[in-house]
Chains A and B, each alone.
Chain A
Amino acid sequence: MHRIGKLGALTAVVVLVGAVVGVALAGRDGDQDKDATVYAASSLRDAFPKIGDATFSFAGSSELQRQIEAGAPADVFASASPDEAQALFRGGSCTRPVTFATNVLVLLVPRDNPGRVRSVYSLRSGGHRLAVGASEVPIGDYTRTVLADMHLSSILSSNRVSQETDVANIVSKVALGTAEAGFAYVTDAKIASGRVRTIALPRWAQPLVRYQICRVRRSGGGTAPADEFIERVVGAEGRRILRAAGFGLPR
């Protein structure tokens, strides 16, 4: 009786583990027919879920690019700059990218503006807590371009600068007041509207911010959900939602 008990318990455990694994595997196969897995730039975190159903992963575009290159199971990739999508395309990981939106950089400050930042030039005095994107992420690259064009690159060394790998972190730091100012997109300002104040950057200094989307090539899966999602993004419904969120649209 004792022996049967132990053996029985062991068998039960093996069966249970097998069942869980089986269900998990079965589940995965089933999902492939339903929703696409979309890896998208962090600034799309609010708009994309409104465009269609999918399994989303939002992060800095360069981080997502790296993950896809390492074999992450994405069906669709949308980056906040052409660099990442084109890199994947050249590497054969995805189809030819398509531009689907544009954006504008702004300077954000917390609602009560503890740092008394009135414009970009206020940062010249230095000593402020500033959140910017790391140079590898699109927002960081764009920010450096703007500052270089305005001859204000020095503010990156004269202030306390936290380099973020995700624009959402920039916004949260400003919204919490941890940072006195941060460079983000105007679409982020909309998302955090109650908690941040927006300071516009001169139009002539705005870099060309282009969002591109492509279908990731990977084995074992129908392309229908991915193509469907991409079509929604570039189609009328997607454009309406993106415009409402503050994005610009390509002709």
Chain B
Amino acid sequence: MGRAAFSALLALCAGISLTFLALPLVALFVETPLGDVPDLLGDPVMRDIIAVTARTNAIANALILLFGTPTAYLLATRRFRGRSLLVTLVELPLVLPPAVAGIGLLAAFGAGGLFGDELQDAGIVLPFTEWAVVLAVTFVASPFYVRQAISAFESVDPLLPAASRTLGAGPARTFWRVSLPLAAGGLVAGWVLAFARGIGEFGATIVFAGNVHGETQTLPLGIYEQLEANFDLALAIGVLLVILSGSILLTYKLVATWRVSNSTSLSPFALTRSRSS
């Protein structure tokens, strides 16, 4: 196959893929009565939807960062038996269909589930509550963060934490002052993905938490319900979500290009001319 023909084939495939990916987004903006969007979003039902989405995702993201970071650090820096199994376990929700995640959560924490009796005795019922949404979002979104975080911590030159230890810093201080700052770029990248996945979460939420206005109805659940009630509102919510996710992604990309990549120490064998002074 000639060079030109190969390039043409590549371009054709790329053109098809990119058009396919762009089409729904473009269509969404074209079909939506954009001038009406502010009014539509001012609909009273939106207030609850946005509040629930904001609250549940804020808590979920905080949990993901709080628990996910040390988890990723452990899996990235320690080698032990069963490590690869644990890493696979962390990645599992990635390949799990969201509805299955919902069923799983029900099976664990629902009324008839594994911990159903214990929870009820403690007076805790999760379905139909915001905490169910938090759990669902955390479950489906954390692999996006943890996986990326593991990679970020692994890419930190191991010499640097070693140097920190020889300089008198214990493992905790080394994590805080050396490993974490150097991995920060990758951690943020992972968080962006997790956040986007979280605010778009639907399947596990609707199965586990239900569709309770003001309590569990998030933006994606709102779209689903408004599909039949008020199609324009459904479109408007879609536009809102696209803008939200898009802004986060764009912000991250801009920030990333300003930061200097500095996660590794310098090449040891670069012969340098001495600027002796």
Contacts and interface: CB of A to CB of B under 8 A. Distances in A.
B128 A160 contact: yes
Given A161-B212, A162-B216, A178 B111 contact: yes
A238 B232 CA distance: 39
Contacts of A10: 1
Contacts of B217: 163
Given A7-B1, A114-B111, A162-B216, A179 B228 contact: no
Given A162-B210, A164-B211, A173-B210, A178 B110 contact: yes
Contact of B224 (A6, A165, A177): A165
A134 interface: yes
B197 interface: no
Contacts of A163: 211-213, 217, 225
Given A114-B111, A134-B229, A179 B211 contact: no
A10 B106 CA distance: 48
Contacts of B127: 129, 173, 178-179
Nearest to B125: A129
A231 interface: no
B227 interface: yes
B158 interface: no
Nearest to B213: A163
Contacts of B213: 161, 163
A165 B225 contact: yes
Interface residues of B, number: 24
Interface string A65-81: 01000000000000000
B181 interface: no
Interface in B166-221: 210-213, 215-217
Contact of B210 (A6, A63, A178): A178
B128 A176 contact: no
Interface of A: 3, 6-7, 10, 60, 62-63, 66, 110, 114, 129, 131, 134-137, 160-165, 173, 176-179
A164 B116 CA distance: 23
Interface in B126-173: 127-129
Nearest to B216: A162
Interface class of chain B by DSSP: loop
B128 A63 contact: no
B110 A176 contact: yes
B112 interface: yes
B112 A66 contact: no
A36 B228 CA distance: 25
21 contacts: A10-B1, A63-B227, A66-B231, A129-B125, A129-B127, A131-B210, A134-B228, A136-B225, A160-B128, A160-B212, A160-B215, A161-B213, A163-B212, A163-B217, A163-B225, A164-B210, A165-B225, A173-B127, A176-B106, A176-B112, A178-B127
Q: Is the interface of A mostly helix, strand, loop or mixed?
A: mixed
B265 to A, nearest CB: 43
B111 A176 contact: yes
Top 5 A-B pairs, shortest CB-CB distance: A162-B210, A177-B111, A136-B228, A62-B228, A178-B127
Given A10-B1, A162-B216, A176-B106, A134 B112 contact: no
B232 to A, nearest CB: 13
Given A160-B215, A161-B213, 7 more contacts: A63-B228, A129-B210, A134-B211, A137-B228, A165-B228, A178-B110, A178-B210
B62 to A, nearest CB: 24
A60 B228 contact: yes
A10 B216 CA distance: 50
Contacts of A160: 128-129, 212, 215
Nearest to B112: A177
Nearest to B116: A177
A131 to B, nearest CB: 7
A137 B228 CA distance: 8
Contacts of A60: 228
A220 to B, nearest CB: 25
A178 B211 contact: no
Contacts of B125: 129
Contacts of B120: 114
A69 to B, nearest CB: 10
Interface string B1-17: 10000000000000000
Contacts of B231: 66
Among A7, A10, A114, A178, chain B packs the most CB atoms within 10 A around the CB of A178
A135 B111 contact: no
Contact of A129 (B112, B128, B211, B225): B128
Q: Among B120, B128, B224, find the residue whose CB has the most chain A CB atoms closer than 10 A.
A: B128
Nearest to A134: B225
A66 B106 contact: no
Contacts of B116: 177
